[in-house]
């Protein structure tokens, strides 16, 4: 079971920037387990790894056109992580052995599709959350399917309430707000690293520091790293190789937006920092964006947190066909709160009729 106890006042965390093994999932897994042991020896109670680190981030899709990537795409399928499976069992055992919360990015294989997934293991080894990136970015849409709202959750762990987003999900303010509204205390961010160039590192830094300030939480961010040999292997074109350098910003940020240790922007390494959890209250007493600084009667978030399913069972009845609810009908349920169930569709039902609703208070008397 997840821990519900109040976390210690100070928590030591590790943000890990290392290179994957581009040959096999097992080789990358060995590096993950070694890094967990290393972080554990340094006293860390939380370890964060880069985006889709196991088996590796699909760098090939960024520098090659889709017509040229079939072989590498299939190889990614062959090495991708099934949840649960050997990778999750090994990481769970390591988390339990070191009494450590572990957040790992993986390429998850679910039958015929791949997903950008984030896994949160508690210090007991229990897998508390598997979530999928809701919208793959640019070239990634040729590689991964889309996630759903069911993964936009904050979970109770041995180190406190932890939420996670991957890469450009941080540019979706509503996704960030969904975690903020669940009162995350430690936000885990994951980016691929060794991508785009130095400007990407600058953008990552702005993004994670802003989220720390806005959420009033700590941010632990991990980016990956590629060696020169790995870059040459991915592309023989030196012009394209420029797109596989830079973009590293492994960092640990406090609720007031400060780096707790200098960020890691080159090479492999592990950042270690002690989080003084009392800083959360010191920030939020001034600005709590989901509490005393919020105006929910004016602005609020509607989250569809149902898991997406490709098939729904429904018993055949002689009743009338299902009718799509109108916005009008929904709003008649109350001036301030539309009937959410009007948009849920039939139970176990017919085709999903999800709609987005924009509500404004202007002009109401």
Which residue out of 108, 130, 153, 167 is catalytically annotated?
Answer: 167
Residue written as tokens 């590790």? 14
Structure-block tokens of residue 194: 């060794």
Mean pLDDT score of the chain: 89
pLDDT in tens, 104-114: 999 999 999 99
Cβ atoms of 16 and 47 closer than 8 Å:
yes
Kindly indicate the confidence band of residue 336, based on its pLDDT and cuts at 50, 70 and 90.
very low
Residue 149, classed as helix, strand or coil, is: helix
Whether the per-residue pLDDT at 329 is higher than 70: the answer is no
Q: For residue 344, is pLDDT > 80?
A: no
Contacts with 307 (C-beta within 8 Å, 6 or more apart), sequence order? 148, 150
Predicted pLDDT of residue 323: 53
Catalytic residue among 45, 130, 133, 153: 133
- Beta pairing class for 160-166 and 186-191: parallel
pLDDT(360) > 60: no
The angle at the Cα of 119, spanning 115 to 120, to the nearest 5 degrees, equals 160
214 vs 193: CA distance, rounded Å: 24
| CB distance 302 to 289 below 8 Å | no
Asked if 220 contacts 187 with a C-beta cutoff of 8 angstroms, the reply is: yes
10-284 has which fold?
Answer: Nitrilase/N-carbamoyl-D-aminoacid amidohydrolase (3.60.110)
Domain locations along the chain: 10-284, 309-365
pLDDT digit string (tens) for 218-259?
A: 999 999 999 999 999 999 999 999 999 999 999 999 999 999
pLDDT tens readout for residues 106-157: 999 999 999 999 999 999 999 999 999 999 999 999 999 999 999 999 999 9
Residue position matching structure tokens 């020169």: 228
Q: Active-site residue 51, yes or no?
A: yes
Tell me whether residue 217 is one of the annotated catalytic residues. no
């Amino acid at each position: 079971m997840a821990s519900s106890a109040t976390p210690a006042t100070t928590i030591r965390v590790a943000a890990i920037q290392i290179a994957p093994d581009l040959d096999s999932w097992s080789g990358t897994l060995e590096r993950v387990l070694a890094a967990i042991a290393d972080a554990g020896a340094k006293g860390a109670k939380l370890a964060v790894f880069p985006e889709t680190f196991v088996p590796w981030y699909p760098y090939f899709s960024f520098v090659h056109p889709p017509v040229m990537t079939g072989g590498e795409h299939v190889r990614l399928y062959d090495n991708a992580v099934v949840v649960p499976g050997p990778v999750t069992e090994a990481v769970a055992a390591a988390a339990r052995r070191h009494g450590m919360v572990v957040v790992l990015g993986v390429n998850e294989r679910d039958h015929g599709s791949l997903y950008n997934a984030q896994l949160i293991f508690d210090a007991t080894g229990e897998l508390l959350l598997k979530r999928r990136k809701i919208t793959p970015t640019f070239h990634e849409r040729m590689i991964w399917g889309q996630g759903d709202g069911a993964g936009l959750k904050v979970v109770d762990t041995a180190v406190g309430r932890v939420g996670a987003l991957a890469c450009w999900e941080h540019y979706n303010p509503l996704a960030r707000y969904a975690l903020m509204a669940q009162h995350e205390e430690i936000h885990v961010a994951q980016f691929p690293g060794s991508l785009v160039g130095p400007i990407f590192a600058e953008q990552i830094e702005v993004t994670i520091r802003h989220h720390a300030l806005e959420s009033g939480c700590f941010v632990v961010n991990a980016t990956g790293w590629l060696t020169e040999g790995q870059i040459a292997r991915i592309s023989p074109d030196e012009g394209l190789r420029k797109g596989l350098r830079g973009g590293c910003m492994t960092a640990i940020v406090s609720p007031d937006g400060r780096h707790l240790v200098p960020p890691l922007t080159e090479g492999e390494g592990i950042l270690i920092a002690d989080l003084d959890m009392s800083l959360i209250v010191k920030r939020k007493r001034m600005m709590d964006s989901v509490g005393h600084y919020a105006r929910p009667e004016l602005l609020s978030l509607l989250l569809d947190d149902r898991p997406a399913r490709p098939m729904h069972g429904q018993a055949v009845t002689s009743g009338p066909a299902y009718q799509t609810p109108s916005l009008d009908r929904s709003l008649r349920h109350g001036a301030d709160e539309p009937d959410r169930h009007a948009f849920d569709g039939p139970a176990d039902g017919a085709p999903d009729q999800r709609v987005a609703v924009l509500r404004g208070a202007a002009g109401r008397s």
